[in-house]
Amino acid sequence: MRRVLTFASVLVLVLVVVVVVGVAGLPGVSTADPAATSMEPRSLDGKGNHPGHPGWGEAGTQYLRVATPNYADGLSEMVTGPSPRYISNRIFNDVGQNLFSENDVSQWGWVWGQFVDHDIGLRDQAPGETAPIPFDPHDPLEAFASDLGAMGFARTPAATGTGLTSPRRQINTVSSYLDGSVVYGIDTARLEWLRAGPVDGDLANNAALLLLPDGYLPRADARGDPATAPSAELFGGLVATPEVARIAGDVRANENIALLAVQTLFAREHDRIVAALPTSLSEEEKFQIARRVVGAEIQFVTYTEFLPALCVVLDPNHGYDPAVDAGVSNEFATVGYRGHSMVHGQFDVRFRRGTFTAAQLDAFRAQGIGMRKEDGQTSLQISLTVAFGNPDLLSEVGLGRVLRSLGQERQYRNEEQIDNALRSVLFQVPSPGMADQSACGQPVVQPGCFSAVQDLGAVDIALGRDHGMPSYNDLRRAYGLSPRRSFTAVTGEATAWFPSDPKIDPADPLDDPSILDFVRLRDADGHALRPLGPRSQEEAVSGIRRTTLAARLKAIYGRVGRIEAFVGMLSEHHVSGTEFGRLQLAMWKQQFESLRDGDRFFYLNDPQLARIDEDFGITFRHTLADIISLNSGARVPANVFGVAPSDE
């Protein structure tokens, strides 16, 4: 029989204030045990997770360092090298040919990865010194045009006391712990705005529920003056209409509709848990129980579904280790976790006839959304360029449909290629006067639709120089790996020389666009596919170009020791059966072990989760499929991280 708690015992179960470590815990549990033995809630900003080092993992503290920082002057000056856009055009350029995950990882791989990224890291966004990335319109490999002359890039502000007499460091502005701060925020002002009830500076009179008008995250104007709403980063067309931005625990929620869908999903999950709790509990008690369970669910999905799907194998768990600092490393945040090559350039949202009215379909077309009919089904073809900064699109399409769609297509292969939606027109909107907006992103980004260039791959390179990232080989050494001695050892290819090919200019092959031509493509079963053909755009998992990646790297860098960390990491051939090269795999393994072992409230360390289950029948042991079904009604496969056919 389930035990019913008295009001007094519930007050012991969930404290409404942060208690000091050492307050009596549960019967039979030693208060000397460093795990989360009392029902103290996590702090919002991560402070106090470690009793002896309360600042470990706290928002506003410096990223950790694994390797010796690499600055031109040893302190702060960015190292020089080839222009990031020049490198991007020759290394990251996919020339419109999609390559997909060889392990059939669905789009949930990159979407969940981004959600986790926003929970554990955000560099200081305060205005810093500018360091524009050059744009050369005369580059023979440049397919895009820009009216701006350069791409905007601002250096991350130096942490106080660094960069002058000691190497420059950077601040992580959010909690490093995987704690659900992406849902709730890191300060009481944002949390109070997000919770139902008044906004008067007193959380005690707020409801346990999160504010979800019509089941979606509140707009900035949901409480009146949008200027008083918590901050939100504005992307794409949202810049002109900031009042419609959705407000979440993290400022980046509006970046794309897939990310916004996950943010919405877990806000709904919080409210579902609250509704399942006894009415005899206070609003604060219900809120804290729901927040604790949601944080554990995010961890549970990450460690039992997301990491295994990407074939990241961690060392066995031995419980909380107070010697481990769970803080996010600068190397992981700046290099290892920037998985932008995985991001699919399009969302294919399938629907049944009659789901949308003719007026709704016309409105989708007007936004630049294409329509496709295949095998008796119709789908919305939502390019990433349309999904940027377009929060209203989520409710127009429907949460369940967007969430389900992410499991129906594979993510892109994790390698050096980056889709042009990110590599060339990040957060850009088509030029005014484009008659057919849908053509701008269908089936690939069309250069003539845009008048400005913003390259996330180039930004990744610049950010590595800004944060003092070591060279590729030095980063390998820092993670216990031996350096690579040749370009072919990095890529796993047979040669680092340009071929004798009549289509390639022998005088200056690096400036010949034909070096990027795909000459062979294969699907997961090894069958040959025609480059840029319909099947190759849906099924190719490997491709051979006219020139090897090793040859292009050698022509750009000259020596292996000069390869930059981000470029080298993405250029590595994959460890068999995984989505990663050896360096990136080592970086993920170390960071996710630290996030697990150094978190006193990690779900495997927290005895209170079992007590919540015993007393209220509420468990954190839900798969992502469970959470989707419970909160959207969408039917999805048991494992959403693997591709599955539609059964709309």
Task: Specify whether 551 is located in the same domain as 418.
Answer: yes
Lowest pLDDT segment from 17-31, 165-179, 412-426, 528-542:
17-31
Does a structural domain hold residue 366? yes
Tell me the β-bridge partners of 61.
Answer: 172
- Under 8 Å between Cβ of 405 and 399: no
Does a structural domain hold residue 129? yes
pLDDT at 380 over 90: yes
**Mean pLDDT computed over 4-16:** 36
- Percent of the chain past pLDDT 70, that is, above it, reads 92
CB environment 557-583: b (16+ within 10 A), e (fewer)? beebeebbbbbbbbbbebeeebbbbbb
Task: Specify whether 504 is located in the same domain as 410.
Answer: yes
Q: How far apart are CA 570 and CA 341, in angstroms?
A: 8
Task: Specify whether 36 is located in the same domain as 88.
Answer: no
Give the confidence band of 11 by pLDDT, cuts at 50, 70, 90: very low
**Mean pLDDT computed over 498-507:** 94
- Radius of gyration over alpha carbons of the chain, in Å? 25
Task: Specify whether 389 is located in the same domain as 498.
Answer: yes
**Mean pLDDT computed over 285-311:** 98
Q: How far apart are CA 199 and CA 205, in angstroms?
A: 9
Lowest pLDDT segment from 20-34, 253-267, 506-520, 559-573:
20-34
Q: What is the DSSP string of 431-461?
A: PTT-S-GGGGSSSS--GGG-S--B-HHHHHH
From the list 248, 13, 5, 177, the residue with the least C-alpha distance to 596 is 177
pLDDT at 21 over 80: no
pLDDT at 267 over 70: yes
Task: Specify whether 20 is located in the same domain as 50.
Answer: yes
Tell me the β-bridge partners of 210.
Answer: 195
Does a structural domain hold residue 642? no
Q: How far apart are CA 610 and CA 257, in angstroms?
A: 34
Question: Is 610 exposed, middle or buried (CB count within 10 Å of its CB: 0-12, 13-18, 19+)?
Answer: exposed
pLDDT digits (tens, 9 = 90+) for 319-357: 999 999 999 999 999 999 999 999 999 999 999 999 999
Full domain range(s) for residue 51: 7-61+174-334+595-632
What pLDDT was estimated at residue 644? 66
Average pLDDT over the chain, rounded to an integer: 91
Task: Specify whether 289 is located in the same domain as 198.
Answer: yes
For residue 514, give the H/E element and its range: none
**Mean pLDDT computed over 9-33:** 33
Residue 607: both structure tokens together: 């005895």
Give the confidence band of 506 by pLDDT, cuts at 50, 70, 90: very high
pLDDT digits (tens, 9 = 90+) for 556-615: 999 999 999 999 999 999 999 999 999 999 999 999 999 999 999 999 999 999 999 999
Residue 508: both structure tokens together: 């200056």
Task: Specify whether 329 is located in the same domain as 345.
Answer: no
Residue 14: both structure tokens together: 């969930």
Q: Cα–Cα–Cα angle for 68, 70, 75, nearest 5°?
A: 100
**Mean pLDDT computed over 8-19:** 35
Q: Where are the alpha helices (DSSP H) in 277-343?
A: 283-301, 307-309, 330-331
**Mean pLDDT computed over 225-243:** 94
**How many CB atoms neighbour CB 73 within 10 A?**
11
What pLDDT was estimated at residue 33? 44
CB environment 428-442: b (16+ within 10 A), e (fewer)? bbbeeebeebbebbb
Task: Specify whether 323 is located in the same domain as 415.
Answer: no
From the list 614, 589, 604, 525, the residue with the least C-alpha distance to 100 is 525
Does a structural domain hold residue 167? no
From the list 601, 614, 5, the residue with the least C-alpha distance to 282 is 5
- Under 8 Å between Cβ of 27 and 607: no
Q: How far apart are CA 95 and CA 90, in angstroms?
A: 10
Integer CA distances (angstroms), 620 to 20, 389, 601, 602, 616, in order: 25, 31, 13, 12, 12
Q: What is the DSSP string of 59-82?
A: TTEEPB-SS----TTSSSPPPP-S
More confident residue, 23 or 98: 98
Task: Specify whether 362 is located in the same domain as 448.
Answer: yes
Give the confidence band of 531 by pLDDT, cuts at 50, 70, 90: confident
pLDDT at 28 over 60: no
Task: Specify whether 326 is located in the same domain as 390.
Answer: no
Does a structural domain hold residue 252? yes
Does a structural domain hold residue 112? no
What pLDDT was estimated at residue 441? 64
pLDDT at 278 over 80: yes
Task: Specify whether 391 is located in the same domain as 410.
Answer: yes
pLDDT at 449 over 60: yes
Integer CA distances (angstroms), 90 to 268, 458, 493, 512, 536, in order: 44, 11, 17, 10, 21
- 328 DSSP 8-state letter: P
**Mean pLDDT computed over 179-203:** 97
Does a structural domain hold residue 584? no
- Considering its fold, how many domains does the chain have in total? 2
Does a structural domain hold residue 293? yes
More confident residue, 384 or 18: 384
Tell me the β-bridge partners of 171.
Answer: 62
Give the confidence band of 433 by pLDDT, cuts at 50, 70, 90: low
Q: Cβ neighbours of residue 49 under 8 Å, at least 6 residues apart?
A: 42, 43, 56, 57, 58, 177, 326, 599, 600, 601
Asked which of 541, 572, 603 is the last residue of a domain, the reply is 572
Whether omega before 34 lies within 30 degrees of 0, making that bond cis, reads no
Task: Specify whether 185 is located in the same domain as 157.
Answer: no
From the list 173, 178, 209, 175, the residue with the least C-alpha distance to 191 is 209
